[in-house]
Amino acid sequence: MALIGVFDSGVGGLSILDEALRQLPQHDYIYLADSANAPYGEKSSNWITARSLALCKYLASKGCHAIVIACNTATAEAIAQIRAELSIPIIGVEPGIKPAAMQSQNGIVGVLATEATLKSDKFNALLATLPDHCRFIKQSGAGLVPLIEAGKADSEETLDLLSKHLEPILDAGSDTLVLGCTHYPFLRKSIRKLLGDTITLIDTSDAVVRQLKRQLEVLDHRSDSGECGSVLLISSKDEASLLAMAKDLLSNDLNLHSTHSAFLGDVS
Ligand code: DGL
């Protein structure tokens, strides 16, 4: 079995951990939430790169065989440097604009992501590879991450802010919406409340976990034992509330795993 590190600015990457526990329950996981510093999306590129690198080095020092950067923002800004400095597989997350372009019927696709992701060279390079016939309506989801971090994903306040952010996407006639931040899958209920079933939602957690699985197979870490592995939840802010949020947000039953939480001390 492998030990897998999953890292995000906060609770968003739990959407990836959830999928990983579904597809690869036998492995052991360390989930690292840098909630004391969320949101990353409004921070400078240098800061995001340095912090993400430090946290991935920390996970590698704990013995992780692979790390999932379960954050679009950290992937966009830092994955190249993290891969250059660590010798274990590093799997990143990118907004699913490619599958969205393939699935959209009318070629109009909304992309909801952080400011930093939308501005990043990596995202814009990916965008440039896609066919011209597709139009992408890019919208920053400013303010949404703090609400989700505060456990308010389904609140009226979130609905109000979300409806403002979705307005340009809807006005343009988008039939597909890319959830380009790992926190946003936790807004599905609110998005459906506002938009009904008329829009296709794209998130990439399934593809990310399939990529993780391929990498583990290359390392010969297969997942064929019947037992569920352990989950260690580490927070830079409040480990008890991370555990409570994980129990609330994950569709997997955490009781099937041996689960612990811990506080992240200074990492630099
Ligand atoms: N979950 C991160 C992402 O996917 C959130 C970014 C933030 O902290 O602003 O981009």
> With a 6 A CB cut-off, is 38 part of the ligand 1 pocket?
yes
Whole-angstrom Cα Rg for the chain:
18
Query: Is residue 75 within 6 Å of ligand 1 at its C-beta?
Result: no
- Give the predicted TM-score (pTM) of the model: 0.95
d(CA 266, CA 248): 27
CA 71–ligand 1 middle distance (angstroms): 5
Kindly state the average pLDDT of the residues 4-12. 98
User: Residue 34 — φ and ψ, nearest 5°?
Assistant: -90, 50
Distance 31 CA to ligand 1 centre (A): 15
Rounded CA separation 180/94 (Å): 7
Amino acid letter for position 65? H
Per-residue confidence band for 266, with pLDDT thresholds at 50, 70 and 90: confident
Q: Are residues 105 and 133 in contact, defined by beta-carbon separation less than 8 angstroms?
A: no
Q: Each residue of 78-93: pLDDT tens digit?
A: 999 999 999 999 999 9
Question: Does residue 41's CB lie within 6 angstroms of at least one atom of ligand 1?
Answer: yes
Q: Is 90 exceeded by the pLDDT of residue 133?
A: no
For residue 134, indicate whether it is catalytic: no
- Using the Cα atoms of residue 248, residue 242, residue 209 and residue 44 in order, give the sign of their dihedral: positive
One-letter amino acid of 37: N
> What is the tens place of the pLDDT at every residue in 144-170?
999 999 999 999 999 999 999 999 999
Distance of CA 42 from the midpoint of ligand 1 (Å) = 9
28-61 confidence digits (pLDDT tens)? 999 999 999 999 998 999 999 999 999 999 999 9
The per-residue pLDDT for range 184-226, each reduced to its tens digit, is 999 999 999 999 998 999 999 999 999 999 999 998 776 666 7
Tell me, yes or no, if 228 is annotated catalytic: no
d(CA 116, CA 76): 8
Contact 172, 141 (CB under 8 A): no
From 31, 181, 186, 203, give the residue whose CB has the most ligand 1 atoms within 8 Å, as the site to mutate.
181
CA atoms within 13 A of residue 73's CA, in its CB half-sphere: 34
Strand pairing report for 230-235 and 258-263: parallel
The residue whose CA is least distant from atom 8 of ligand 1 is 39
Q: What is the pLDDT of residue 139?
A: 98
How far is residue 247's CA from residue 48's CA, in Å, rounded to a whole number?
A: 28
Q: 15 vs 265, which has greater pLDDT? A: 15
Q: Which of 56, 71, 134, 228 is catalytic?
A: 71
Cβ atoms of 212 and 242 within 8 Å: the answer is: no
- All structural domains of the chain, each given as residue ranges with its CATH number in brackets, are 3-93+205-263 (3.40.50.1860), 97-202 (3.40.50.1860)
The residue assigned the tokens 């400078």 is: 44
Do the Cβ atoms of 208 and 91 come closer than 8 Å? Answer: yes
Ramachandran quadrant class, 111 (left: phi over 0; alpha: psi -120 to 50; beta: rest): beta
> Probe ligand 1: pick from 114, 138, 202, max atoms within 8 Å of CB?
114
Phi and psi, residue 120, nearest 5°? -70, 150
Beta-carbon contacts of 206 under 8 Å, excluding residues fewer than 6 positions away, are 19, 23
Answer yes or no: is pLDDT of 134 > 80.
yes
CA 183 / ligand 1 centre spacing (Å): 6
Give strand pairing partners of 32.
Answer: 7, 234
- The answer to whether the beta carbons of residues 54 and 86 sit under 8 Å apart is no
DSSP 8-state symbol, 120: S
Ligand 1 contact, 181 CB (< 6 A) = yes
Residues 66, 219: Cα–Cα separation, whole Å: 9
With tokens 């099937």, the residue in question is 256
Q: What is the dihedral of CA 164, 170, 175, 178, to 10 degrees?
A: -30
